[in-house]
Structure 1
């Protein structure tokens, strides 16, 4: 069962309504006046997490993104930045009548807080909080290079992993405002680097099943209004637990990354086992 807190009522509602096994999701991109900004990325990111969570629960998903007419340059920029943030590409349609692309009425609408939703009817509603950025400290990569795809020719340093932006945003409940700071972005990069290193190390040990309590708790958090922050906290706890075998840690991280989309297994196979001393 997948439930969301419908913004209009404040109540948890099951989506899709049982017993149907197809989730129809409509992502409403905010109007783009002066350029694509962080909130234009957070809205489809939440839609991506919704779709991934539904698939983890055995549902089929159809996702469309409605947007006003975009210039070809902005369309390419939006596609590019969604790709680097690991957002599965939705079907892009116009601002009206997405039902034809969905194959029926939407079960869920994902919308930016404060957006004009006068033409949105039916289905549950997820409202996504705003995102702002602040000037960064010297030596810290500018998230604007990652969050402003209108600057396609800017070379982003390798240390400025775009998925660090995804991790930073996922650390906050989707309805709460987020401020991207240099310190927060640097911490997200450190966390990704550490987790990928640990996952690569654990992958060298014999595989073990995911502990039942970890599987139950993580799935319950995701199914209960997309509580991704709780899943990230769970992973941070698992990483330091001595009672969970390394092989089970690997399987836990790899399994939950199907929703997180952080490429946590990226470094697996890029390490060498320490050489054993030759027998005497």
Structure 2
């Protein structure tokens, strides 16, 4: 069972209502105006809304649901449409079924079960379904030499030229590090910490993969799935992984399976280095 806190009422509601096994999700991209990056035309809030929609879909699939996602957008110039495609690709956001539909019911095959919107959206503008309101993202001036997240997502920047310090999935990790109803501030130190965490986790996962496989401990599986199913508490899952990584009572093979399993929702490419690291 997947439940989210409906912004309209503040109460947890089951989506989709039982016994249906198809989740119809409508993600609404905010207008590209205030706060938009000068390079991509897309600012941090515009990243966070479809990212939460992606986590919602991944969590639903982890719970055995089928998912149809539609992304509605304002009118986009060709450059901004390409930038949006680029941003979604490098952030690991699964492509929605339809982009740009202002009447999504046809693409969804019926009324939406849930709408994912930016904070400040008038609930009266959204018809039917539960409402997930994604809170604003703040930015702070970045220190000299720290890559700007907007520049990292430049649609004209080839993947092959991205240095390790420009890992766009660090932006994904940073935006997922707080509950969607809590503001996130993008700063140079926060991005640096996210990059460090990804490097350490990927290195550890590659090491653990060389040990005999072990099942995910039942308590960890229950705790993580409960956090995700109860209002998409990804931040709690990230804290759980940080704890598992240093727990001496969890075998290396079980750590690997835990990280690989939960990365199906996190989308951080945590198994990227498996097979590229040899024993000392």
Q: TM-score range by the shorter chain?
A: over 0.9
- Segments of 5+ residues of structure 1 without an aligned counterpart are 275-280
User: Is the aligned partner of 1:246 residue 2:252?
Assistant: yes
Post-superposition offset of 1:108: 0.4
2:238 aligns to what? 232
The one of 95, 110, 130 aligned to 1:124: 130
1:149-201 CA distance string (max 9 Å, x none):
4x635965331110000001111000111110000000000000000000000
User: Is the aligned partner of 1:152 residue 2:156?
Assistant: yes
Inter-partner Cα distance in structure 1 for 2:94 and 2:123: 24
Alpha-carbon contact 2:8-2:123 (below 8 Å) kept: no
SS in 2 for 1:152: coil
Matches within 5 A, 1:1-280: 1-33=1-33, 35-94=41-100, 96-146=102-152, 149=154, 152-153=156-157, 156-274=162-280
Alpha-carbon contact 2:74-2:100 (below 8 Å) kept: yes
TM-score, normalising length: structure 2: 0.93
* Greater radius of gyration (CA): 1
Inter-partner Cα distance in structure 1 for 2:138 and 2:220: 33
Post-superposition offset of 1:246: 0.3
- Segments of 5+ residues of structure 2 without an aligned counterpart are none
TM-score, normalising length: structure 1: 0.93
Inter-partner Cα distance in structure 2 for 1:256 and 1:269: 19
Post-superposition offset of 1:32: 1.4
SS in 2 for 1:30: coil
Post-superposition offset of 1:44: 0.1
Alpha-carbon contact 2:6-2:130 (below 8 Å) kept: yes
Q: How many residues align?
A: 272
Instruction: From the superposition, tell whether residues 20 and 181 of structure 1 become closer, same or farther in structure 2 (CA, over 3 Å).
Output: same
